[in-house]
Amino acid sequence: MNNPYLIVEEIKVGNFHFPSNWGPHYRRFIIARIRNKGNERAQNCLAHLETPSILDRELKLHWVDTPYEPRRDSTKKIDLEPKEAIDLDLVFAVCGDENPKISIEPILYTGSVVFHPIEPRPSVTYDQSISRGTYDPSLYKPVRSDSNTIIDAKLPSNRKFPGAWIATPYALYDPDGYREVYLPPGKHEISVDILLSKGTGCGFSCSIESSEDPSKLDFNPETVKIPGI
Domains and CATH numbers, the chain: 6-222 (2.60.40.10)
Q: What is the 8-class DSSP label of residue 131?
A: S
Q: How far apart are CA 86 and CA 62, in angstroms?
A: 11
The per-residue DSSP string of 105-129 comes to ---EEETTEEEPPPPSS-EE---TT
Dump strand ranges (E) for 172-217: 182-183, 186-195, 202-210
Spell out the alpha helix ranges (H) of the chain.
169-173
Do the Cβ atoms of 221 and 114 come closer than 8 Å? Answer: no
* pTM attached to this predicted model: 0.79
Taking only the tens of pLDDT, the chain with its 229 residues reads 678 999 999 898 888 877 666 667 888 999 999 999 999 999 999 999 999 999 877 799 999 878 776 667 778 889 999 999 999 999 999 988 766 665 444 444 444 555 544 444 444 333 333 344 444 444 444 444 344 444 444 555 677 899 999 999 888 888 888 888 999 999 999 999 999 999 999 999 999 999 999 989 999 998 999 886 6
CA distance 61 to 228: 23
